[in-house]
Amino acid sequence: MTKLDGLRALLIRSIPQLKADPSKLAAFADRGRIAARAGSPSFEYRYTASLVVEDFAGDIDLVIVPIIGWIAVNQPELMQKQDSEPFAFEAELLAKDLIDLSITIELTERVKVERGVVAGKPGTITTHLDDIIPPDTFPGAEGARFWAGIADDLVAEASAVVVPA
């Protein structure tokens, strides 16, 4: 689950509370399925990524914004869904300013499987393929890309975020 691992790593890097205590973030795959077709050894993982942030104090936007940026780069078709809902969340209010936050995202990971040479011997090579990212240009701003700067800057900006007391 390379995508789930990458998302988890991003959240730990970009959210100060998780950077200080990564054990407050649980990440796991639910309802996993494999999509495959006859005649090809290649396949696709399909699963629900579940993330749970425990005892979170602060603005929930600190969690949501990095996830939206990550989805725009790593699972872009979710941003184009008919219902405009790329993921879901639930929050359990523990105290006035403390919550447990649960997030679910439907993810896919394409895997190319082919015969090749592994350590000098015939073998099987698996390659996780990148998603095809649609252009994120917008009308009237030729050459301007909406997500290009945001996704790259999330980690750098997270350290500058000030959470009101």
For 155, the 3-state DSSP assignment is: helix
Q: Nearest to residue 66, comparing CAs of 11, 138, 18?
A: 11
The span from the CA of 70 to the CA of 64, in Å, is 10
Q: pLDDT (tens digit, 9 = 90+) per residue, 55-110?
A: 999 889 999 999 999 998 889 888 887 778 899 999 999 988 899 999 999 999 99
What's the pLDDT score for residue 163?
43
What's the pLDDT score for residue 149?
53
Residue 32 has pLDDT above 90, yes or no: yes
What's the pLDDT score for residue 106?
95
What residues are paired with 111 via a beta bridge?
43, 128
Mean pLDDT of 4-24: 94
Residue 47 has pLDDT above 90, yes or no: yes
CA dihedral 5, 155, 83, 137 (to 10 degrees): -120
C-beta separation of 18 from 37 below 8 A = no
Q: Confidence class of residue 137 from pLDDT cuts 50, 70 and 90?
A: low
What's the pLDDT score for residue 155?
44
Q: Confidence class of residue 17 from pLDDT cuts 50, 70 and 90?
A: very high
DSSP state of 137: B
Sign of CA dihedral 22, 25, 26, 29: negative
What's the pLDDT score for residue 164?
42
Residue 152 has pLDDT above 90, yes or no: no
What's the pLDDT score for residue 162?
43
Residue 123 has pLDDT above 80, yes or no: yes
The span from the CA of 8 to the CA of 22, in Å, is 9
To the nearest 10 degrees (0 to 180), the angle between helices 146-158 and 2-14 is: 60
Q: Nearest to residue 12, comparing CAs of 151, 158, 162, 121?
A: 158
51: which 2 tokens? 């993330």
What's the pLDDT score for residue 142?
52
